[in-house]
């Protein structure tokens, strides 16, 4: 084998090793972010530091600091990993719905079920989004996550309109902020223990969805 060929083989091997190291590092970051997600959700942004997270989890401060530059880095990664699941949770409902009524009913049910089941995780997302209004270092990540959430809602409503034989009466952004507003208000009242208001919002949501779609003449 020539020196040039040997050099290329060596470089290729080094590249593979480097990629594996990067992949392992990223995988460990993801593992740590997911493992500390509930701790983050309980503490919230303002009360959180890497040291406090370490004290409330099985990981040392040194380990967390090695993989994350600061709490912003960890919180953003944790929310990003949660959103990977969140933004696809309605896709199965969309995929198997055969009537507009079925899709609307199953969407409303999941909408409020996840509000109750994952309330602290949703609270963490809104905490992060609010912080981005003051801290510019969050904004790009928050806007990216928000874009994925908007696309999730659009898939539901556009399919609902299709099954109904109508068209969506607004942009994806308008549809998203409308439903997100309902969700955030319901979350606040859920956390406050106001079941009556949550129940009322749940009962009204089907009509809100219908307002977002113009039926064909």
Per-residue pLDDT tens over the stretch 126-159: 988 998 899 888 888 889 889 999 999 999 999 9
Query: The dihedral of CA 56, 113, 205, 168: what is its sign?
Result: positive
pLDDT confidence bin for 182, thresholds 50/70/90:
very high
Smallest CA-to-CA distance from 29 within 66, 84, 56, 83 is with 66
Q: Are residues 94 and 184 in the same domain?
A: yes
Last residue of a domain, which of 47, 78, 109? 78
Q: Are residues 104 and 8 in the same domain?
A: no
Q: Are residues 203 and 127 in the same domain?
A: yes
Which domain, by its residues, includes 135?
A: 79-214
- Give the model confidence (pLDDT) of 202-213 as tens digits: 999 999 999 999
**Residue 140 and residue 76: Cα distance in Å, rounded?**
10
Q: Which tokens in the block code for residue 191?
A: 């956390």
Last residue of a domain, which of 78, 104, 121? 78
Q: Are residues 42 and 143 in the same domain?
A: no
pLDDT confidence bin for 11, thresholds 50/70/90:
low
**Residue 12 and residue 35: Cα distance in Å, rounded?**
34
Q: Are residues 19 and 55 in the same domain?
A: yes
Number of domains forming the structure of the chain = 2
30: domain CATH number?
A: 1.10.10
Q: Are residues 60 and 153 in the same domain?
A: no
Last residue of a domain, which of 26, 45, 78? 78
- Which pTM does this prediction carry? 0.79
- Give the model confidence (pLDDT) of 64-84 as tens digits: 889 988 888 888 888 888 777
pLDDT confidence bin for 88, thresholds 50/70/90:
confident
* pLDDT surpassing 60 at residue 120: yes
Q: Are residues 24 and 91 in the same domain?
A: no
196: domain CATH number?
A: 1.10.357
* pLDDT surpassing 90 at residue 94: yes
């Amino acid at each position: 084998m020539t020196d040039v060929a040997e050099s290329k083989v060596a470089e290729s091997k080094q590249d593979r090793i480097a990629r594996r190291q990067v992949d392992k590092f990223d995988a460990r970051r993801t593992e740590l972010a997911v493992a500390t997600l509930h701790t983050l959700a309980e503490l919230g942004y303002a009360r959180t530091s890497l040291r406090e997270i370490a004290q409330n989890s099985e990981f040392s401060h040194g380990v967390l600091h090695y993989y994350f530059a600061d709490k912003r880095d960890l919180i953003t990664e944790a929310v990003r990993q949660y959103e990977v699941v969140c933004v696809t949770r309605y896709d199965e409902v969309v995929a198997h719905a055969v009537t507009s009524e079925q899709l609307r009913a199953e969407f409303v049910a999941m909408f409020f079920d996840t509000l109750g089941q994952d309330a602290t995780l949703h609270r963490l997302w809104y905490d992060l989004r609010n912080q981005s209004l003051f801290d510019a270092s969050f904004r790009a990540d928050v806007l990216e996550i928000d874009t994925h959430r908007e696309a999730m809602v659009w898939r539901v409503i556009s399919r609902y309109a299709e099954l109904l034989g109508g068209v969506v009466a607004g942009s994806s952004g308008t549809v998203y902020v409308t439903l997100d507003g309902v969700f955030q208000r319901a979350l606040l009242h859920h956390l406050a223990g106001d079941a009556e208001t949550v129940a009322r919002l749940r009962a009204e949501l089907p009509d809100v969805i219908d307002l977002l779609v113009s039926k064909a003449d």
